[in-house]
Amino acid sequence: MTEPILEVSGLTKFFGAVAASDALTFAVERGSIHGLIGPNGAGKSTTIAQLSGELRPDAGRIRFAGADITAWPVHRRAHAGLQRSYQITSLFPDFTAAENVALAVQARQGHSFRFLAPARRTPSLREPALAVLGRLGLAAKADEPASRLGHGEQRQLELAMVLATRPTMLLLDEPTAGMSRTESRRMMGILRPLKGKVTILLVEHDMDVVFALADAITVLVKGKAIVTGPPAEVRANEDVRRAYLGNY
Amino acid sequence: MSAPPRRKQVVNITGLLVLLALPAVALAVGEPFLIGVATRIVIAALAALSLDLILGYGGMVSFGHAAFLGIGAYVVGILAHHDIENTLIPFLPGTWHGTTAALVQWPLAVLASALFALVTGALCLRTSGVYFIMVTLAFAQMLYHFFVSLPAYGGHDGINLWQRSAVPGADLSDDWIFYYVCLFILLAVLAVLSRIVNSRFGMVLQGCKQNEARLAALGIATGRYKLAAYTLAGAIAGLAGALTANQTEFVGPSLMHWSRSGEILVMLILGGIGTLYGAVAGAATFLALEEILTSLTEHWMLFLGPILVFVVLFARRGIYGWLVGPESGDD
């Protein structure tokens, strides 16, 4: 058993009287794909936002790669290798696909206080960007503005940006949301080879995707983790069936 | 990415030639006062340009840009004042004399406005959107009222300068020379900024405008880049202020009144946001319109208003965007 890369303990977040995270505790093994599922309003997106640093928890601790990151700002967590994608695609709409990814490469390479050399013609930015776009099948769209890409392509572009930072762990918030069956399958084809290289916390509505990819699954109900375990165990769990899978 | 479209080059070169030829044209048509108008255009373009850096590229709508102009102008004014009166500059430790040397005045003007931008920017940038607009406005108004109530430097009446800054080898009191000095500074700043907005720094700045949260999520600490841009904009506007003081040979609090900040914004919107060249086109259009319309009626704002509405409604990318045509995106 290896040491977990991400440890969440006692994470609590209230919105008024509603507990979006209620003493939430779970751990993610290094190199695994870890599914985070639960019915609507279970607090999945709130969990991701607290892990990425966009929301401050009211209580609890988050440890990532051996460091307590609970108080770290968003950019510091990201720079440490904990990257996220958004449920609603979040891009730089006026930039081309290549420029979007190049900005992610820039983020990885350290500070951007370089004022004179034209960034678009800097090979150390453009080449890695094109390489990642190629891997995700977007090479032909490199010089299209992001806003003119199709929905599925935009979701792939966001993943390309995130991967271009060479993350150690990804927080993916419904990467197949709004995708067609074909696009969804292609996304799975992109995610599967990452297993073992990049740790992934996968929030997903599509149960086929989660059960096909995940090594372990945490089921969230009303901000609490009711079970964490391998897919087969989770599928067989009575509490999970009652809370969630009964209507699936 | 691709080679810039030809139409854009034609527009830019034509604009450059017009600016270079303006004094000669003014003389040829027997209206030498037009050199003064042209100088005002060039200086205003410099101020609008600095606003375009933070607004057009960084998405920071500053409504207090006149404060930087005012600081730049007052640095020149105060130094000249103590030089003429042969008194020491108060409030500073040690003994400091005034001076009229441009090589001292102008860099100090730039430094002082940059410092003001750095300090106020660190506070303003904790907010965004409408709050940012209001806080920048508040700082500018504070400064305005500070100088209004400062009798040492004339309060409301300001300071009259007896001469323009002294530059070795050139006599700035010659309107021709002063015009070309201002134009040279404008073109130099334009050249540097057009590199900056496309550099790594510029890409981060543009990213802040489009989707700042995304940039942070990628691991970029956006705050320090915005503050750097804000400080740079303050420095450039401070230089414009130093030139304004020289042009009018007068420095007063009206330079930093909020309506001045509004004028700079209007120039930029008129000319086209986020193009740099639009700032120049906007300043030229605004001041030319002012010149023409005021000769017809004192209620010239009544006519400027509809023109502005027309531009905003029908030429979203401003006059410059309309001139270069829709095919030219970003360069």
For residue B327, the model assigns a pLDDT of 56
Shortest Cα distance, chain B CAs vs residue A48, angstroms: 12
Residue B330 has pLDDT above 50, yes or no: no
For residue B331, the model assigns a pLDDT of 43
For residue A245, the model assigns a pLDDT of 55
What is the average pLDDT across B250-277?
95
For residue B3, the model assigns a pLDDT of 53
Residue B325's pLDDT band (boundaries 50, 70, 90)? confident
Buried b (16+ CB within 10 A) or exposed e, B302-315: eebeeebeebeeee
| Chain B CB contacts of A165 below 8 Å | 218-219
- Of B326, B323, B221, B244, nearest to B10 by C-alpha is B323
Question: Residue B300: inside a domain, yes or no?
Answer: no
Q: Which residues pair with A82 in a beta bridge?
A: A169
Per the CB < 8 Å rule, is B219 touching A119? no
- Regions of chain A with pLDDT less than 50: 248
Scanning the structure block, which residue is given the tokens 């004339």? Answer: B154
pTM: 0.93
Cβ contact B178:B247 at 8 Å: yes
Total residue count of chain B as it appears in this document = 331
Backbone angles phi, psi at B97, to 5 degrees: -100, 160
Residue B220 has pLDDT above 90, yes or no: yes
CA distances from B123 to A8, B62, B117 (A): 34, 13, 10
For residue B136, the model assigns a pLDDT of 97
Cβ contact A66:A232 at 8 Å: no
Query: How far is residue A141's CA from residue A136's CA, in Å, rounded to a whole number?
Result: 11
Chain-centre distance of CA B266, in angstroms? 12
Cα maximum dimension of chain B: 60
Residue B269 has pLDDT above 90, yes or no: yes
The continuous run of DSSP H or E covering B198 comes out as none
Backbone angles phi, psi at B326, to 5 degrees: -75, -20
Highest mean pLDDT among B27-36, B101-110, B287-296: B101-110
For residue A248, the model assigns a pLDDT of 43
Shortest Cα distance, chain B CAs vs residue A170, angstroms: 11
Per the CB < 8 Å rule, is A73 touching B221? yes
Shortest Cα distance, chain A CAs vs residue B233, angstroms: 14
| Chain A CB contacts of B228 below 8 Å | 113
Query: How far is residue B258's CA from residue B144's CA, in Å, rounded to a whole number?
Result: 8
Chain-centre distance of CA A40, in angstroms? 18
SS3 B250: strand
Shortest Cα distance, chain A CAs vs residue B274, angstroms: 12
For B214, the closest of A90, A114, A117 (CB atoms) is: A90
B27's CB contacts (< 8 A; 6+ apart) are B35
Number of CB pairs < 8 Å for A and B?
Answer: 108
Question: Residue B268: inside a domain, yes or no?
Answer: no
Per the CB < 8 Å rule, is B203 touching A104? no
For residue A178, the model assigns a pLDDT of 87
Shortest Cα distance, chain B CAs vs residue A151, angstroms: 18
For residue A40, the model assigns a pLDDT of 86
Question: Residue B106: inside a domain, yes or no?
Answer: yes
Outline where chain B has alpha helix (H): 6-28, 33-52, 65-85, 102-124, 130-148, 175-196, 200-218, 222-248, 258-271, 277-296, 301-314, 318-324
| Chain B CB contacts of A78 below 8 Å | 216-220
**Where in the sequence is the domain holding B178, given as residue range(s)?**
35-260
Per the CB < 8 Å rule, is B218 touching A113? no
Cβ contact B132:B124 at 8 Å: yes
Q: Give CATH 3.40.50.300 domain extents, chain A.
A: 1-81+167-248
- Token pair belonging to B61: 């709508």
Per the CB < 8 Å rule, is B206 touching A114? no
SS3 B159: strand
Beta-strand relationship, A169-173 and A199-203: parallel
Tell me chain B's radius of gyration from C-alpha atoms.
Answer: 20
Residue of B nearest to A106 (CA): B200
For A78, the closest of B199, B201, B217 (CB atoms) is: B217
Residue B96's pLDDT band (boundaries 50, 70, 90)? confident
Residue B135 has pLDDT above 90, yes or no: yes
Residue B105 has pLDDT above 90, yes or no: yes
| Chain A CB contacts of B217 below 8 Å | 52, 54, 74-75, 78, 83-84, 86, 90
Q: Which amino acid is at A180?
A: S
Per the CB < 8 Å rule, is A92 touching B214? yes
HEC letters along chain A: CCCEEEEEEEEEEEECCEEEEEEEEEEEECCCEEEEECCCCCCHHHHHHHHHCCCCCCEEEEEECCEECCCCCHHHHHHCCEEEECCCCCCCCCCEHHHHHHHHHHHHCCCCCCCCCCHHHCHHHHHHHHHHHHHCCCHHHCCCEHHHCCHHHHHHHHHHHHHHCCCCEEEEECCCCCCCHHHHHHHHHHHHHHCCCCEEEEECCCHHHHHHHCCEEEEEECCEEEEEECHHHHHHCHHHHHHCHHHC
What is the average pLDDT across B221-236?
98
Question: Residue B81: inside a domain, yes or no?
Answer: yes
- Of B263, B200, B250, nearest to B228 by C-alpha is B200
Query: How far is residue B69's CA from residue B72's CA, in Å, rounded to a whole number?
Result: 5
Interface of B with A (CB under 8 A): 1, 195-196, 198-204, 206-207, 210-211, 213-222, 225, 228, 329-330
SS3 B101: strand
Backbone angles phi, psi at B93, to 5 degrees: -70, 145
- pLDDT, tens only, B120-129: 999 999 999 8
- Token pair belonging to B223: 């705050």
Domain count within chain B = 1
What is the average pLDDT across B158-163?
92
For A75, the closest of B203, B210, B221 (CB atoms) is: B221
Interface of A with B (CB under 8 A): 52, 54, 73-76, 78-79, 83-84, 86, 90-96, 99, 102-104, 106-108, 112-120, 122, 125, 143, 145, 161-162, 165
Per the CB < 8 Å rule, is A93 touching B210? yes
| C-alpha torsion B124→A53→A202→A85, nearest 10 | 20
For A118, the closest of B199, B206, B329 (CB atoms) is: B199
Shortest Cα distance, chain A CAs vs residue B328, angstroms: 13
For residue B68, the model assigns a pLDDT of 98
| C-alpha torsion A164→A169→A171→A175, nearest 10 | 50
Per the CB < 8 Å rule, is B216 touching A120? no
Say whether domain A1-81+167-248 belongs to CATH 3.10.129.10. Answer: no
Candidate from A239-248, B20-29, B220-229, B241-250 with smallest mean pLDDT: A239-248
- Of B16, B59, B10, B4, nearest to B329 by C-alpha is B4
Residue B144's pLDDT band (boundaries 50, 70, 90)? very high
